[in-house]
Amino acid sequence: MACYIVGSVDCKTMLYMKGVLEMSNISLYLPKVKDDTRKLTELFLVFLEIGAFTLGGGFAMIPLIQKELVEKKHWVEEEEFLDEIAIAQSVPGAIAVNTAAITGHKVRGWPGAFAATLGVMIPSFSIIILVALFLNNFASLAITQAIFRAIRPVVVALITYSAYKCWNTISISRFNITIEVVSLLSLLVLNAPPAIVILVAILFGIIRKVKIHGNTN
Amino acid sequence: MGILINLFLTFLRVGALAFGGGFAAIPMIQSDVVATYGWISSHEFANIMAVASMTPGPIAINSATYVGFKIYGILGGLIATFGVVLVSFILIGIIAGIMTKFSNNKYVNSVLEVLRPVIVVLILVAAINTGHSAFVDYREILIFGAAIFLLFKTKIHPIALITSFGLLGIIIY
- Whole-prediction pTM value? 0.81
How far is A44 from B84, CA to CA, in rounded Å? Answer: 20
**Closest approach of chain B CAs to the CA of A156, in angstroms?**
5
Residue B81 half-sphere exposure, CB side, CA atoms within 13 Å?
29
Return the residue of B nearest to A213 by Cα.
Answer: B106
CB A162 within 8 A of CB A62: yes
CB neighbour burial string for A139-154, b if at least 16 within 10 angstroms, e if fewer: beeeebbbbbbbbbbb
Q: What is the pLDDT of residues B6-38, one digit of tens each?
A: 999 999 999 998 877 777 788 889 999 999 999
On average, the pLDDT of chain A sits at 83
Average pLDDT over residues A167-188: 92
Q: What is the CA radius of gyration of chain A?
A: 24
Return the residue of B nearest to A193 by Cα.
Answer: B20
Which among A98, A124, A153 has the least Cβ separation from residue B144? A153
Q: Is the pLDDT of residue A144 over 80?
A: yes
Which among A86, A102, A156 has the least Cβ separation from residue B115? A86
For residue B148, the model assigns a pLDDT of 94
Q: Is the pLDDT of residue A26 over 80?
A: no
Helix axes A174-188, B106-134, angle to 10 degrees: 40
- Interface touch A157/B120, C-beta < 8 Å: no
If we measure between CA atoms, which residue out of A88, A138, A215, A21 comes closest to residue B122?
A88
Sketch the domain layout of chain B as residue ranges.
2-101, 106-172
Q: Helices (H) and strands (E) in chain B — how many of each? A: 7, 0
Q: Which residues of A touch B92 (CB under 8 A)?
A: 87-88, 91, 98, 101-102, 105, 113
- Interface touch A87/B107, C-beta < 8 Å: no
Q: Which residues of A touch B140 (CB under 8 A)?
A: 149, 152-153
Return the residue of A nearest to B141 by Cα.
Answer: A153
